[in-house]
Amino acid sequence: MSEVDRIVQTLKDAGHDVVVLHHPIGKCRKCGETHDLAFGYCFDCAHAGQLRAAKRTAWQHIARANNLIWHRHWTNARIELRWAWERLTQTGDYKPGGTFDAEHPGWRDKA
């Protein structure tokens, strides 16, 4: 039994309601600072990555998809191709009022 399990059991035996939450704390893969992580990146680095994705042109999405296909990352390549189509047709995440507009106001002005 681990130290955490022993402490939790002691608290439960004493009549306390115990909820154990697992928040991955660690170093961000991008900036190297210690944060509460989701998918290995801190919030600021994840936000910056989404902003870079929003600013990509359709050709940049297609080029990234091609590279991902050659490296056999099929799911990510499919996402890049979907974003290329949405960028060309101004639908989905790229439509006015879509996901990128909601999460990153003003990204079109800076593109």
2-52 pLDDT, tens digit per residue, is 676 787 788 888 888 877 666 667 778 888 887 766 667 778 888 888 888
**Rg value, the chain, Cα:** 21
Asked whether 42 and 35 are in contact (CB, 8 A), the reply is yes
Locate the DSSP E strands across the chain.
25-27, 34-36
Task: Note if the pTM is more than 0.85.
Answer: no
Sequence length of the chain is 111
Residue for token pair 């499919």: 78
What count of Cα atoms within 13 Å lies in the side-chain half-sphere of residue 16? Answer: 10
Alpha carbons 65 and 57: distance in angstroms, whole number: 12
pLDDT of residue 79: 94
Alpha carbons 52 and 110: distance in angstroms, whole number: 11
pLDDT of residue 100: 85
